[in-house]
Structure 1
Amino acid sequence: MPTLDFKGKQFVYAHHLTVPFRQLSIDAKKSVPKDGKAGLDDSLIIHGDNLHALKALLPKYAGKVDCIFIDPPYNTGNEGWCYSDNVNAPLIREWLKDSANPVDKEDLERHDKWLCMMWPRLQLLRELLSNEGTIWITLDDNEVNRARAVLDEIFGEEHFLANISWVKRYTRSNNAKMFYSMKDAVIVYRKSPLLDTIKEPRNEKSDSGYDNPDKDKRGPWMTSSYVNPATKEERRNLVYPIKNPFTGKTVNHPSHAWKYSKEEHERHVKERLLWWGSDGKAEYPRLKLFLMEAEKLVPVDVWNYSEVGSSDDGGNEVKAIFGSAVFDNPKPTGLVKKILSICDNKRGVVLDSFAGSGTTAQAVLALNKEDGGTRKFILVECEEYADAITAERVRRVIKGVKDADDENLKTGLGGSFTFCELGDEINIENLLKGDKLPSYDELARYAFYTATGQTLDKVKHGVDFFVGETGNYRVHVIYEPDREFLRSQESALNMPLAERISKGVDGSKKTALVFATHKFMGQKDLSDMGIVYCQLPYAIHRVMGA
C-alpha cells in the first residue's frame, strides 16, 4: 500500500508511546455531577492538551469508545493553531521555537506540521476505539487527501467506510474568483471487520410513501410490483395462475413470470398481503410492505443541510445559548446527532478530542432525551475557554436556557458531567522519593493497563490489595499514596501475604501479578506459588497473553 511521507514523520511515528500517563484532576465546582458527587465514571470534559488527555484515558477507556467524532483544525492558514508537541528531535525543536507563531498560509511546512500533530493523536484514538467502533473526522479540501493517506496507514485501507459530502451552505458566494465550496468532508473509518453492517434510522422522508387506505390493522404500508423483470421462458418455476378474489378471474401475465414462488404466493394470500387496487380490479396484484416491518436504511455519502443542519445553524445554536457569537464556525448538533444515530448504541461512549464549543456533548444529551439512551460523552479541549465556553454550554443545556425557542432546550436536556484538568504525570520514579504520588485507583489502573493491555473499569479494593483480573491474571497492587507506607515493611510482599494471594481470589487458579516496592522472599518460592512479582517503580510492564 502506498504511504505518505512528510517532514517529521520518523520523529512522531512512535511519539504516542513516549507520552507520559497523567492523572485526571477533578474540579467538582465546575462539574454538574450525577447524584451530587463528581467522578470519573461520569461523562467528562477535560481541559488540557488532547495528546496527553488521550493517553490519560487509556487505562480506563482503551477499546471502550464506540464513536469518535473530531473536528480538527482544517489548516486553512487562517485558524491560528500552533504546533506544540514536545518531540525530542532537531526538526521539531526548531518548530517549537516558533510555536508562539500560528501556522499560516505563508508557512511552507504547514502541511507537515499538521500531519505531525495528527499522527500521534490518531494512534491513541485508534487504541481507545472499540473493535466495532467508528471514527468520523470533518475536514475540507486543505487536508482531506493527506488525511486519507494517513488514516489508511493507521486504521488500514480496508477499514475506510466513506467520504461523506456535507452540503453545509445554502447558497454560493459570488466573491470567489474560482470555485466556491458548498461542502465539507466527513471521513469515516472503522476499527476492525467486526463492524460489518451500518444502517441509519428511518426518517419522515423515507416513511412518507407509506399509507393505509384500507385501514389495515397492521398499520401503514406501501406496495411493490408482483411482476418479475424476467420472462416466463427465463423463470419457468415462477409461472402459475393467480386468482383475483374480488372479481373471481384467473390472472396470468402474458410475457413475464411472477417474482415469488407458488408457495410464497399462497402465504401472501393467506396473510392478506396482496393489493388489487382500491376497487379490487387491478390488472395484476401488488405486494404490501408494512412500515412496522421496514428495515433501517443504508446511509448515503451526501448529507444536505436540510437534513443535518448548516454551518449557519451551528452558529445560531451557540447564539441561542450564550446570546452572542462566542465561537467561530461551530458544527450544528444535527450533524453529530446524525452520526450518533448511525453508530446506534444507546449506551455507548462518545469521544470528541477537539471539543471546541461543545456541540458533541449537546448532541449526546439531546439524543439521550429523545430516545431514552444513556450515552456518555468525553470532551477534550486544550484552550482556555474549556470552562467558559465548552463546559458552560453543556451546563446551560443540561439545566435549561431560559429564553430559548426550542422547548427541550428551554426546559433543559438533563444529564451530568465531571470537569477535569490534566494532573501530574504518573511518574513511577517518584515513588522512590515520595513526591507527587498518584492516588491508589490511578496507580492501580495504570499498573493494570500497562501490565495486561486491558482496562480496569472499577478498582475492586479487594482483600490483599486485589484490584482486578483478566482471563489469565489476577492483579494485586501493594500501595498507598503515602511515603511512610512506601518506605515501611507493610509495602513489601512477604510470605504470609504471598500465601494468601496464592490461594486465589474466589478460588481462582490464575497467575497472580503482584506490584510492590520490595519483597522478603525468593523468586523460586513465588514461582511455586504462581506469583509474578513486579517491583515498583521499575517493573511496570506489559505481560503478553493477558
Structure 2
Amino acid sequence: MPSLEFKGKQFVYSHHLSVPFRELKVEKDKSLPIQGNKASLDDNLIIHGDNLEGLKALLPTHAGKVDCIFIDPPYNTGSEGWCYNDNVRSPLMKEWLKKSANPVDKEDLERHDKWLCMMWPRLQLLKELLAETGSIWITLDDNEMHRLKPILDELFGEHNFISTIIWQKKYSVKSDTKYFSEEHDYMLVYSKNNGDFELHGLPRTESQNSAYKNQDNDPRGDWTSGDLLRMESRDYAIYEIVAPNGKKHLPQKGSSWRFNKDKLEQLIADNRIWFGDDGNSKPRLKRFLSEVQNTIPAQTIWKYNEVGSSDSAKKHLTAMFKDRDLPFATPKPLGLIEKILTVIGNKDITILDSFAGSGTTGHAVIAANKKDKGNRKFILLECEDYANDLTAERIRRSINGYSFKGTYKEEFLKEKISWRSLSKKFQQLLEKVDHIENEQLVNFDKIKKEIKDNFITVTGERKEENTMAGLGGSFTYCTLGDPIQVESLLTGKGMPSFESLAKYVFYTVTGCSIDKVAKASVDGLIGETNSYRIHLFYKPEVNWLRSNEAALNNEKVEAIKASRTKGKRTIVFAVAKFMSQKELTKNRIEFCQLPYAVHKIMGN
C-alpha cells in the first residue's frame, strides 16, 4: 500500500513508545463529583496537560476500552498559533525545530511536516486506546485532509476506512473570497476493526415512512413498490410475464427481470408483485414497511440545520460565558457530537476527545445522558491554560446550570416532510406534535411549531431571568504527575504509588489495561488476563524496599501456588528473591527484578 512520507517521519515513527508514563493526579478542588462521593478516576475525566503524555497516562487503565474517539485537531491554517514541541530524542529533530519557526505560521514552509509529526504519535496512542468495536472521528478542512487520510490508512488500515462526512459549518455566503465561498468541513471516520464495528443508524422519519401505503388492503400492512428490472441482460431472466388482466410484459432490450421464472411465480402467488390498480401495469416488487429496519443509514452530508453550525455553536458558548471573553472563533456545535452518539447508538460507552478545546464533547455526552438516561462517559484532554477556566468550567455549568438572561430554546422534533407525507400521515404527525406540546408545556413558556425548508420543527421556548437549569452529572479533574521512573526505587525520590506502579507493570507485561488493582495480599496478585497472572511486591518506602520483607521468599511462593490458575503464566515483580531460580522454575514462576526487569520487558 502506498504511504505518505514527510520530514521527520523516521524519527517520530516510534516516538509514542519513548513517551514516559505519568500518573494521573486528581485535583479535588477542581473536580465535581456526585454529592457525597469523592473525586475518582472511575468518573468522567478532564485531564490538563500535554495530550501526548495524557494519552500515554491513560493506557494502563483504558487501553482497548475507548468506544468512540472524536478529535478536532488544529487545522493547520497557518493562523492558529499552535506549536510543535514534542520531545523527540533525535538530535536532527531538535536541530530542525531550533532553526524553524514556532509557533507554526503561514510563512513556515515546513508546517505540513510539523503537523504530521505532531499527529503521528498521537494517532498511534489513540489506536491503542480504541476498543476493537470502536471508531475514530476526526474533523478537518482542506489544509490537511488529503495528508491525514493516507497516514490513517497506514495506521488503521485502508480496509478500516468507513466514510468521509461533509459537515456544513456555514450557511451565509462570504463575498470577500476570490474563488469559492467555503462552507464545509470534513470528518474522516475509521474503525479499529471493520469486522467488529457496527453503526446503528438513525430512526426512520414520518417522511420516509410516508412512501408506504396499502393500495390493495394487504393484511401485511403498508408497502411501497420497486423496479423488477435489472439493467443488464441475463438469458435465464428474460421471459414473458402475464398480468392478471391479460397484458403481457417483457423486459426492455438490454435488461432482464431480477428473478428467474420460478422465483417470480412464487412472488406472484405470495401477492408480492403489483400490477397497478388496473391489473395490467408493468409489474413491480412490493416491499412492506413491517419488513424494513427501524433505522436507516446516516447520510454523508450533515447540514447545519440538522446538527448546528459554527455560528450557532459560538452563540451557544457565548450565552454560557457572558462573564468573559472566549478564545474560540469556531467551536463545534453540540448537535454534531450528538449525531455521532445517535449513529453509534450504544448508551453505555466511553468517548475520548484529546483536543477538547471548549469542551463540546463532554457537554454533548452529559446532554445525551440526560435525554435518554444513558450511561456514557467522557474523557477530555486539554493542554492549554484554559483547561480549568473554560473546558472544565463549561462542564460545571452544564451540570449545575448557569446565569442566563434571555430566551432558552430546546428542540424536540425535527423531521423532514413532503406534501405527500403530510396528506398521508397528517393525523399521526399532529398527534405526535400534540403529545410533545402536552408533555413539555409545563417546562416552557410556549411550544413553537414551524414548517420551513421541508422540515417540521417543534421547539420549546422559555424566558430565563437568572439561571439555566443544569443537566446533572459529575467529573474528576486531573493533572499529569511526574513520570513513573522505576529507577526512583534506587534513589527513593519520586517513587510511584503502589497502584500506579501496578497499573504500569501490568500494562507493560500484558498490553492490557486494568480497571482495578487487587488489594495488597500475601500472594501479591494485582490482576490477571487469559494468559497471565501478575504479582507485585512493593511499597513506596525506601526502608521497606531494603528489608527482607520486600523479597520473594518461600512463604510468598506458597501463597502464589495456592491461588494459581492452571495454564497461566505467573510473573512476579519484586526487588529481590530468597529463592533459587531452579526452585522458581520448578514452581513455574517467572521472577522479574525491579527496576531492571521492567525495561527488559519493554525492550529498552
TM-score (norm 1): 0.88
2: distance between equivalents of 1:92 and 1:294?
Answer: 54
Q: Does the alignment pair 1:413 with 2:471?
A: yes
CA gap 1:233/1:161 in 2 versus in 1, 3 angstroms: closer
Please name the residue that 1:427 is paired with: 485
2: distance between equivalents of 1:543 and 1:25?
Answer: 26
Please name the residue that 2:592 is paired with: 534
Identify which range, 401-410 or 64-73, moves more after superposition: 401-410
CA gap 1:495/1:219 in 2 versus in 1, 3 angstroms: same
1: distance between equivalents of 2:195 and 2:285?
Answer: 38
Identify which range, 85-94 or 25-34, moves more after superposition: 85-94
- The one of 529, 536, 540 equivalent to 1:481 is 540
Q: Does the alignment pair 1:318 with 2:351?
A: no
Q: Does the alignment pair 1:363 with 2:364?
A: yes
1: distance between equivalents of 2:284 and 2:124?
Answer: 57
1:276 touches 1:286 (CA, 8 Å); kept in 2? no
Please name the residue that 2:136 is paired with: 135
1:32 touches 1:395 (CA, 8 Å); kept in 2? yes
2: distance between equivalents of 1:143 and 1:151?
Answer: 12
1: distance between equivalents of 2:600 and 2:294?
Answer: 45
Q: Does the alignment pair 1:451 with 2:452?
A: no
Q: Does the alignment pair 1:466 with 2:525?
A: yes
Query: What's the CA shift for 1:235?
Result: 4.1
**Gapped regions of structure 1 (runs ≥ 5):** 243-249
Post-superposition Cα deviations, 1:361-414, rounded to whole Å, max 9, x if no partner, equal 111122222233211111100000000000111111122235371459943222
2: distance between equivalents of 1:142 and 1:173?
Answer: 19
Which secondary structure does the structure 2 equivalent of 1:374 belong to?
coil
Q: Does the alignment pair 1:26 with 2:84?
A: no
Equivalences for residues 209-224 of structure 1 within 5 A: 209=210, 221-224=222-225
Query: What's the CA shift for 1:342?
Result: 2.4
CA gap 1:495/1:236 in 2 versus in 1, 3 angstroms: same
1: distance between equivalents of 2:287 and 2:191?
Answer: 36
CA gap 1:182/1:415 in 2 versus in 1, 3 angstroms: same
2: distance between equivalents of 1:276 and 1:407?
Answer: 45
Counterpart AA for 1:494:
N
Query: What's the CA shift for 1:296?
Result: 2.6
CA gap 1:102/1:258 in 2 versus in 1, 3 angstroms: closer
Q: Does the alignment pair 1:499 with 2:502?
A: no
CA gap 1:154/1:258 in 2 versus in 1, 3 angstroms: closer
Post-superposition Cα deviations, 1:220-272, rounded to whole Å, max 9, x if no partner, equal 94522485569999647995776xxxxxxx67664467977454555558xxx
**Gapped regions of structure 2 (runs ≥ 5):** 252-256, 412-466
1: distance between equivalents of 2:470 and 2:189?
Answer: 31
Post-superposition Cα deviations, 1:301-322, rounded to whole Å, max 9, x if no partner, equal 2222122211112211211211
Query: What's the CA shift for 1:160?
Result: 2.1
Equivalences for residues 159-238 of structure 1 within 5 A: 159-195=160-196, 197-204=198-205, 207=208, 209=210, 221-225=222-226, 235=237
1:61 touches 1:455 (CA, 8 Å); kept in 2? yes
CA gap 1:98/1:372 in 2 versus in 1, 3 angstroms: farther
Query: What's the CA shift for 1:161?
Result: 2.2
Which secondary structure does the structure 2 equivalent of 1:394 belong to?
helix
Post-superposition Cα deviations, 1:92-119, rounded to whole Å, max 9, x if no partner, equal 3235547994211111121111111111
Q: Does the alignment pair 1:59 with 2:117?
A: no
Which secondary structure does the structure 2 equivalent of 1:424 belong to?
strand
Which secondary structure does the structure 1 equivalent of 2:288 belong to?
strand
Counterpart AA for 2:72:
D
1:66 touches 1:343 (CA, 8 Å); kept in 2? no
Post-superposition Cα deviations, 1:450-506, rounded to whole Å, max 9, x if no partner, equal 01111111112263221111112111111122222222211111011112102234x
Q: Does the alignment pair 1:380 with 2:381?
A: yes
Please name the residue that 2:93 is paired with: 92
Identify which range, 184-193 or 388-397, moves more after superposition: 184-193
2:163 touches 2:190 (CA, 8 Å); kept in 1? yes
Which secondary structure does the structure 2 equivalent of 1:519 belong to?
coil
CA gap 1:261/1:219 in 2 versus in 1, 3 angstroms: closer
Please name the residue that 1:330 is paired with: 331
Which secondary structure does the structure 2 equivalent of 1:447 belong to?
helix
2: distance between equivalents of 1:427 and 1:28?
Answer: 25
1: distance between equivalents of 2:498 and 2:360?
Answer: 34
Counterpart AA for 1:519:
K
2: distance between equivalents of 1:352 and 1:292?
Answer: 38
1:240 touches 1:262 (CA, 8 Å); kept in 2? no
1: distance between equivalents of 2:358 and 2:156?
Answer: 28
Which secondary structure does the structure 1 equivalent of 2:149 belong to?
helix
2:11 touches 2:90 (CA, 8 Å); kept in 1? yes
Please name the residue that 1:245 is paired with: none
1:237 touches 1:261 (CA, 8 Å); kept in 2? no
2:170 touches 2:310 (CA, 8 Å); kept in 1? yes
Tell me how many residue pairs correspond in the alignment.
Answer: 531
CA gap 1:28/1:300 in 2 versus in 1, 3 angstroms: same
Query: What's the CA shift for 1:190?
Result: 1.7
Please name the residue that 1:247 is paired with: none
Counterpart AA for 1:405:
Y
1:207 touches 1:291 (CA, 8 Å); kept in 2? no
CA gap 1:229/1:504 in 2 versus in 1, 3 angstroms: same
2: distance between equivalents of 1:200 and 1:213?
Answer: 26
1: distance between equivalents of 2:312 and 2:230?
Answer: 46
1:65 touches 1:133 (CA, 8 Å); kept in 2? yes
Query: What's the CA shift for 1:192?
Result: 2.2
Counterpart AA for 1:312:
D
Equivalences for residues 269-348 of structure 1 within 5 A: 287=286, 289-290=288-289, 293-323=292-322, 326=326, 327-348=328-349
2: distance between equivalents of 1:31 and 1:99?
Answer: 39
1: distance between equivalents of 2:305 and 2:5?
Answer: 39
Counterpart AA for 1:529:
N
Query: What's the CA shift for 1:132?
Result: 2.0
1: distance between equivalents of 2:302 and 2:113?
Answer: 30
Task: Give identity over the alignment, percent.
Answer: 48
2: distance between equivalents of 1:306 and 1:443?
Answer: 49
2:4 touches 2:151 (CA, 8 Å); kept in 1? yes
1:219 touches 1:292 (CA, 8 Å); kept in 2? no
Q: Does the alignment pair 1:14 with 2:14?
A: yes
2: distance between equivalents of 1:406 and 1:433?
Answer: 60
CA gap 1:531/1:213 in 2 versus in 1, 3 angstroms: same
CA gap 1:502/1:321 in 2 versus in 1, 3 angstroms: same
1: distance between equivalents of 2:219 and 2:20?
Answer: 59
Query: What's the CA shift for 1:291?
Result: 6.2
- The one of 574, 582, 596 equivalent to 1:516 is 574
Query: What's the CA shift for 1:416?
Result: 1.6
2: distance between equivalents of 1:29 and 1:218?
Answer: 64
Counterpart AA for 2:73:
P
2: distance between equivalents of 1:310 and 1:275?
Answer: 47
Query: What's the CA shift for 1:146?
Result: 1.3
CA gap 1:524/1:483 in 2 versus in 1, 3 angstroms: same
Identify which range, 222-231 or 309-318, moves more after superposition: 222-231
Query: What's the CA shift for 1:298?
Result: 2.6
Query: What's the CA shift for 1:534?
Result: 1.0
Counterpart AA for 1:354:
F
Query: What's the CA shift for 1:295?
Result: 4.3
- The one of 495, 500, 504 equivalent to 1:437 is 495
2: distance between equivalents of 1:238 and 1:462?
Answer: 80
